[in-house]
Amino acid sequence: MARIVFLGAGSVEFTKNVLSDILSFPELGESTLVLHDIDPDRLATAEAMATWMAGELGRPAKVEARLDRRAALDGADYVINEIAVGGHAATEIDFEVPRRYGLRQTIGDTLGIGGIFRALRTIPVMVAIGEDLVELAPHALLLTYTNPMSMIPRAVYEGTSFQRVVGLCHSVRDTEARLASLVGVPEEEISFVTAGVNHQAFVLRFEHRGQSLYPALDEAIARDPELRRTVRVEMYRRLGHFPTESSEHGSEYLPWFLRHDEEVARLRIPVEIYLRWSGENLDTFEETRARLAAGQGVEITPVMELASEVIHSIETGTPRVVHGNVRNAGLIGNLPPGACVEVPCLVDRAGVRPTRVGDLPPQLAALNQTFLNVGELTVRAALEGRRDHVYHAAMLDPNTSATLTLQQIHDLVDDMIAAHGDVLPEGIR
């Protein structure tokens, strides 16, 4: 059976969700589940959880825990990545330093100064993982959830010879379900085409029996003043297509919102919300560890995580469509071929096969390009050890450039580099 490796397995809530799915599929019940984390306490908790879950469900799965990453990756069939380089302490830096400059962020993991520095500290580790896979498991499929999604897969396929990497994110699935609910039509009856850049993709087709559902969505928005007080509805009104990302996330990829107090209030943008979420994740880990130590186990609830669906489809031949983040190579005609784009992918025993979308509406492609510019410069900075490209990425970032002067941006970058220190690539620190 499949050898499934979890990198960053100490992220116990995520690991629990994926394990709930995998172990609930009878066809995957004999898999070898290999857990890796650099934190021994977190790894031990993940191992105890996986062992308990397999026993509770009566599955003969084999559970291995490995502190050594290469030992974990050796012979892998699938690698599920959820690492967070630097952990909660690095996240605090990503907010604390920009705050001193008056720069607001909400999540800080995808674009903006926080996304840039999350990428810079993550890319060297991901490149090392790609190099390990070339040697130890060249036929494995790397399924990565770690943000920034538009940068991490690109760094692997540009920085190594390992090309079997797909980024996975819930935003498209969640958006399509939300839209179906708003217009009152069962999701399975709706024809969707959604594509773009991760966290800035757009619903290009939204139809029921050949008729556009956008007029019905307009009516739902007109009836609900609370919906109108959101960034994503504001962007839909301006661009003509509904964006996939939540309002709190979407606000920090754009120049028009976070620098304006009145817009933050009008659109109810939760500044620095991710710091609270990150702290809550620490609490969740402690609660899980305590429950396992007391012999109480954890709740097993299949949630149909994308990674588990991809693995099940490949192992059983069950066809599915998932949205994956992959090298563009003409999938979206008016975005750069080397970019990492989010498109529908067919998944079955033949693997993950991206589908060609064609050109995006020009206003959407233009907005995506401003997003991709920051990512390309950040990836180049990390792979080439170019500190100057860190400044360039921050200068071109929409929210950062709308808020700070060029000198302030330069000083902020210097302070961020000093604060993060040795976790950054050589040539930058």
Annotated binding-site members for Mn(2+): 169, 199
Binding site listing for substrate: 147
Q: Which residues are annotated as a binding site?
A: 147, 169, 199
Pairing of strands 340-348, 320-327: antiparallel
Separation between Cα atoms, residue 394 and residue 82, nearest integer Å:
25
Phi and psi, residue 241, nearest 5° = -140, 140
How buried is 397 (Cβ within 10 angstroms: 0-12 exposed, 13-18 middle, 19+ buried)? Answer: buried
- Distance, in Å, from the CA atom of 47 to the CA atom of 34, rounded to the nearest integer, reads 9
Relative to beta strand 62-66, strand 32-36 is parallel
CA-angle at 310, arms to 306 and 313, nearest 5°: 135
Query: Which H or E run includes 35?
Result: strand 32-36
Q: Which of 170, 208, 260, 410 is catalytic?
A: 170
What torsion do the CA atoms of 151, 154, 156, 159 make, to the nearest 10 degrees?
-110
Which residues does 31 contact at the CB level (< 8 Å), separation at least 6? 1, 2, 3, 4, 22, 61, 62
- Our CA angle for 326, 332, 338, nearest 5°, is 50
Return the number of other C-beta atoms located less than 10 Å from residue 319's C-beta.
11
The single residue listed with the structure tokens 């809550």 is: 280
Nearest Cα to Cα of residue 321 among 332, 306, 333:
306
Name which of 204, 217, 210, 214 is nearest 189 in CA terms.
Answer: 210
Q: Is 410 a catalytic residue?
A: no
Are the CB atoms for 190 and 358 separated by under 8 Å?
A: no
Q: How far apart are CA 229 and CA 265, in angstroms?
A: 9
Peptide bond into 148 cis (omega under 30): yes
H helices present in 77-145, as ranges: 87-100, 112-136
- Of 248, 114, 253, the residue nearest 197 (C-alpha): 253
- The Cα–Cα gap between 288 and 266 comes to 38
| Active site residues per annotation | 170
